[in-house]
Amino acid sequence: MRDEHTIDALIVETKSGRRAVRGRVFVDASGDGDLACWAGAPWEKGDAAGRLLYPTLMFRVNNVDAVRAGDAVNDINRLMQEAEATGDYRFPRKGAIVRPQKHANEWRANVTQLRNADGSAVDGTDALQLSAGEIEGRRQIRDYMGFLRARVPGFESSYLLDIAPQLGIRETRRVVGHAMLAAEDVLGCRSFPDTVGVNAWPLERHVAGDVQWSWPPIPESRGFNHLPYRMLVARRIGNLLVAGRCASMTSEAQSAARVSGGCFVMGQAAGTAAHLALAAGTAPRTWIFPYCRRSSSATAHGSAANKSAILGSQPDEETEMKTLFAALALAVPLAGTVLAQPAGSGRAADAGVWPAKTIRMIVPFPPGSSPDLVARMLNDKLGTRSASGDRREPTWRGRQPGQPLS
C-alpha cells in the first residue's frame, strides 16, 4: 500500500518468482474480492445470518441417446422425485438443471450442492473447505451418474465426459461500494442515473437443498434493472474498482446480478472508468460526479429505505456542475484531447454560474475514443442544463454523433 487508501502494487507469485505489479488504478475482478479485502476495503459475506449461496461442481456426460432422452430437460426433476420416493436415492438439492449441449449426445449437469459437515455452504475463500468441496463434489457426481444411467431414459449408456476444473462458487465476499444493489432494485427493475449496463436475471438463491427463484412482475415490468457505476467503486480505497460477482450488492441482489451478463458489463465499465480516470489524472471516484443526480431523484425510483439509494453525502447540483468544469479543466490539459471553448473569454472552470452563451466543443478524436466518451458526458450535461434549454451539439471530426461507433 502507498498509504492506507491507495494500493501501490500487487504481489504475484509466478514461475519467474515473486513479482510486484505496480499500478495507479486497480480492478478487483477476482470474484472473491481478494484484492479489496487485502487492501482494507469494507466487504460483506453472506446474508444477515452469514449464509452463503451454495456452490456446485458442474460436469458433462456423453453418449446420451437424444431421441430417447426427449424432454429430459423438463422431466428431470419429476424423475428425481420418483427416484427419491423409492428410498434408493437421496439428492443434494432440488432444481436440477440438465441440458443438451451443442452436440445432441452431450449434456451438462448443474445438480450438485456442496456443503460442510455442519450443513453450511462451502466458503470459496477458505482453502480447506475448497479442498473438501472438491472431494464431496466428485462423490455427488458419481452418485448422480448412477441415477442418470438407471432412471433417466436415453442416459442408460451415458458416461462421465469431464468435471469442471474447479468448484463453481456463487457467492463469497461482496465489496461495499458507493451504492449497493438491493433485491428491490432487481425486482422493481430500478433505473439509476449512472447506469453502466443492465441485469436481466431474476433472484436465483441456492439455499440448502433447493434453488429459489424470484422474478420481477412480467409482463407488467420491463424485466431488467440498471447497474449503477457506484456499485463498482470501492469505499475507503481511492484507486480501486470492483467488477463481477464481488461488486457492491446485497446478498439477495447478488444472486441475480452475479450471472455472466452482468459480470461482463461490469468488467467493461470498470476497465473504461479506469482508463478515463488515468487519462484525466483523477481517481476513479471522480467519474461518479458527472452521473450523479441529487439523492432525491435517486430515491424517487424506489423506497427511501432502499439500500441502493446513494450512500453518503452527494454533491448538490451546483457542486456537481463545478466538478464537471473542474473535470473538464483537468481533462483538457492532461488528455490533451477535448477542446471546450466558451464563446467570449474566461476558462470554463471559472464560470461559477451556468454559461448562457453558446459553447463550441471540438473533439478531434474518433468516436469511441476516451476523449469522445468524456465529450459525450460533458455534452449531455451542457445540453440538458443550458440556460435556454437548447442542446449544444459538439462537432465530431470525421463522424457525427448518432453514427455507429466503430
Ligand X SMILES: Cc1cc2nc3c(=O)[nH]c(=O)nc-3n(C[C@H](O)[C@H](O)[C@H](O)COP(=O)(O)OP(=O)(O)OC[C@H]3O[C@@H](n4cnc5c(N)ncnc54)[C@H](O)[C@@H]3O)c2cc1C
Min dist CB 155 to ligand X, Å, is 20
Residue type, 290: P
Contact call for residue 44 and ligand X (CB under 6 A)? no
CA 116 to chain centre: 28
**Residue that the C-alpha cell 468488467 belongs to:** 267
What are the beta bridge partners of residue 242? 28
Cβ closer to ligand X: 109 or 280? 109
User: Across the chain, which distance is largest between two alpha carbons, in Å?
Assistant: 86
Min dist CB 141 to ligand X, Å, is 13
Cβ burial, residue 338 (10 Å; 0-12/13-18/19+): buried
Is residue 228 within 8 A of residue 265, CB to CB? The reply is no
Contact call for residue 112 and ligand X (CB under 6 A)? no
The DSSP secondary-structure symbol of 221 reads S
* 140-148, 167-175, 287-295, 301-309 -> range binding ligand X (CB under 6 A): 167-175
Contact call for residue 134 and ligand X (CB under 6 A)? no
CA torsion sign, 232 to 265 to 384 to 357?
A: positive
The residue number with the shortest CB distance to ligand X is 244
SS3 366: coil
Min dist CB 339 to ligand X, Å, is 38
Residue of 28, 64, 92, 110 that binds ligand X (CB under 6 A): 110
Count of other CB atoms within 10 angstroms of residue 268: 13
All three cell numbers of 105, joined, read 449426445
Min dist CB 32 to ligand X, Å, is 5
Closest CA to 181 of 167, 198, 169: 198
Closest CA to 274 of 310, 241, 226, 311: 241
State the Cα–Cα distance between residues 239 and 282, nearest whole angstrom. 9
Contact call for residue 231 and ligand X (CB under 6 A)? no
Min dist CB 157 to ligand X, Å, is 26
Residue of 29, 227, 292, 382 that binds ligand X (CB under 6 A): 29
Contact call for residue 258 and ligand X (CB under 6 A)? yes
Applying CB under 6 A, the site for ligand X has a residue count of 18
Cβ closer to ligand X: 169 or 279? 169
Is residue 159 within 8 A of residue 230, CB to CB? The reply is no
Residue of 25, 26, 32, 186 that binds ligand X (CB under 6 A): 32
Cβ closer to ligand X: 55 or 371? 55
Contact call for residue 254 and ligand X (CB under 6 A)? no
* 67-75, 260-268, 281-289, 297-305 -> range binding ligand X (CB under 6 A): 260-268
- Please give the residues from 48 up to 67 whose contact with ligand X meets the rule CB under 6 A: 56, 58
Site residues (CB under 6 A) for ligand X? 29-32, 34, 56, 58, 110, 168-170, 244-245, 258-261, 263
